[in-house]
Structure 1
Amino acid sequence: MRPQEVQGLRSGCCPEPQPTTDGAATRHLIRSKHYKNVADGDGNHISAGEDREVPWVAITPVVHAIRVLERMVPDGELLLSARHHAFASQGGHHGALKGGSLNDRIERFVVWVNREATSLGLSRQTVPEDPHGAIGMSRFRRTLAWHIARRPGGLVALAIQYGHMRTVLDARTSSGYGSRSRNGIHSVLDVETALAAADTAARLSDRMASGEKISGPAARRAVAAAATTPRFEGRIVPAKFARKAAAFLARDGVVLYDNPDAHLICAFKHDNALCEPEPGATAPRQYACQPGCGNTVRTDTHARQLRTRADEIDQLAANSPGPLGKRLRANADRLRATADAHDTTAQPAKALT
């Protein structure tokens, strides 16, 4: 959430999910207003905001935090109401706590955590000093979970959760971020994508150095990419890195994308892709990966993963009804056949250079 969206949350914004008739699992959803780029028909900004069309999905710690705040304010009141949280003077407060007050409380919370951790002998659980200064509310939104971005379709999940319309991984045809353009969430996602691709190239290089063989129609391109892609060593990512990330991703044919669900690496070349990427896209639709694609690369590790997954599917098939079990066993056989094809065609990296 943006800081203003957090400040606009009210008691009751996250009701307990209602059970479904079929017993399916449900999630806590937070419903509130958003304020950025909200305008009337004449283009005038609406300061009261409007209801956010897509709710936020809340994990358990967030739900617990909301429940605590709901015990501190009346029903329907702002969760961070200044009237109930500004203790210095109870009179004359309206609306939510201001950003400066919330930033100050975050810093005080860090001090409290460190004091408690030290007194309990838990030095490894202290909050280290941040080299970039105070931890303000505006910084939380840009602290993306790297493991989400690295899953197939992960950038889509981030786009949805962050309220943006970049559901095509690389299309910049949607309206902006503030205009939702490159300078907003797109550049952040470019950085995450570029770092993930660099990690993929580094892992491939390490596997080949350890003696693993490689197969697939894009094997030769992948070997070259792994040899030339810079290894990310955990340095601080400056603001200008976003431009470098976009340029890095635009190198058609030599950027490597890991796809753990398909047990392969995609050496993405737009004209070869069977996942039907948008015109001008520089990343594959990893959630739409197709067999037989000319961008496919596999290592011995992928072949082992394919066989492990086939064994898991066979166990599931043994406890499934007849027709479903038959389809599952056929799927397992296809995975083993793919692994066998790798073993037959795989070559060492030296043979491909």
Structure 2
Amino acid sequence: MPISKEFYDKTSDGHYISIYSLTNGSMKVKIIDYGGIITNIFVPDKDGKMEDIALGFDTYKDGYDTRNRYFGALVGRYANRIAKGQFTLDGVTHQLAVNNGPNALHGGINGFDKRLWASSIEGNKLVLKYTSADGEENYPGEVKVTVTYQLTDQNELILDYTATTNKKTIINLTNHSYFNLAGHAAGTLDGHFVRLAADKFTPVDDTSIPTGAIDDVNGTMFDLTSETNVVTRLPNVPGDKGFDHNFVLGKPGWDKHAARLRHTPSGRQIDMYTTEPGFQFYTGYYLGIDNAKGGANYRKWSAFCLEAQHYPDSPNQPSFPSTVLSPGETYRQTTKYVFSIAES
């Protein structure tokens, strides 16, 4: 599918940011090489009307530099939370920045979401590359990361991730796009219905760190295995913040269906498939951004995220799937978002 490149903005230290447009005739996705951020996703509704369903900002200076909530970004070196910002490898304890209450979140103060990636067009794919130095954000090992974006003519947005290291480290990468299928500025998740292909989840403490248990969703507010009206469930989720939880998919496997959300009035639907063992379903409790893209105001529970991942705090939870990457190994992940019109 065609990919075009344009100048987007400059970083605070004067480096050029490029924006790439991926089109297939029926939808368009825009991505910048700062943070690998998906800035726009234009998708038609059942009547062919296009809307941008991805939350974000109009320019780097409007918010991606200082006000971002990880909108659309590549997140790493470790997505989600690590308890007390600490983990131990081979007897050595590493202290990360504590940037989310008592915990480390999404790679630190200047994670992958705040880095300028080397970008290129290779055939029908946008390729982003970044080398994270040994000791960056106090993570061990030089890590070389490649992420490709591809938009197919089946309206599939496919993200492929690979990474290697020269020293044993931990890694957990994801994309942090916020979606609202009614349009990014809709302001509410009214009309959204969710179904998750996960019958287990990882319960958390009051700082959102997993307790170590893997619980059945059956009989709880986390049972989304059958289609559920999102807004009627949100106020009843324990903790009163809606969903911000890791759902368990079991053993990794290619093209594993993880989630479906559909918006009844527009007919828009998104499905996520991933090779990852879990994903974070987040409904935007901590949103609170004024004058974002197009002047929109983003409030709590006005968007959702589907963040394919290994489980939060895995380095400190021996029973969870390992996130350790050693020299000679290659980290691999594929996640696919499929956009369609729901059957009426």
TM interval, shorter chain, is: under 0.3
**Which structure is richer in relative contact order (CA contacts within 8 A, separation 6 or more)?**
2
* TM-score computed with the length of structure 1 as normaliser: 0.25
**Bigger fraction of residues in strand:** 2
* TM-score computed with the length of structure 2 as normaliser: 0.26
**Bigger fraction of residues in helix:** 1
